[in-house]
Amino acid sequence: MPRPKALAASELEARLAALPGWSLVDGKLHRDFRFPDFVEAFAFMTAAALCAEKLDHHPEWSNVYAKVSVDLVTHDAKGITELDFELARRMSAIAERTETGRTE
Which stretches of the chain bind a second copy, using CB under 8 A?
A: 36, 38-40, 42-47, 49-54, 56, 58-65, 94, 97-100
Residue with Cβ nearer a second copy (23 or 46): 46
Residue with Cβ nearer a second copy (16 or 47): 47
Task: Give residue 13's Cα distance to chain centre.
Answer: 16
Residue with Cβ nearer a second copy (9 or 38): 38
Q: Phi-psi category of 67—alpha, beta or left, where left has phi over 0 and alpha has psi -120 to 50?
A: beta
Q: In the complex, what is the shortest distance from the CB of residue 5 to a second copy, in angstroms, rounded to a whole number?
A: 21
What span, in angstroms and rounded, lies between the C-alpha atoms of 77 and 50? 23
Burial class of 18 by CB neighbour count within 10 A (0 to 12, 13 to 18, 19+): exposed
Contact 57, 103 (CB under 8 A): no
Residue with Cβ nearer a second copy (52 or 80): 52
Q: In the complex, what is the shortest distance from the CB of residue 38 to a second copy, in angstroms, rounded to a whole number?
A: 5
Q: In the complex, what is the shortest distance from the CB of residue 8 to a second copy, in angstroms, rounded to a whole number?
A: 26
Q: In the complex, what is the shortest distance from the CB of residue 71 to a second copy, in angstroms, rounded to a whole number?
A: 9
Alpha-carbon dihedral sign for residues 99, 58, 70, 92: negative
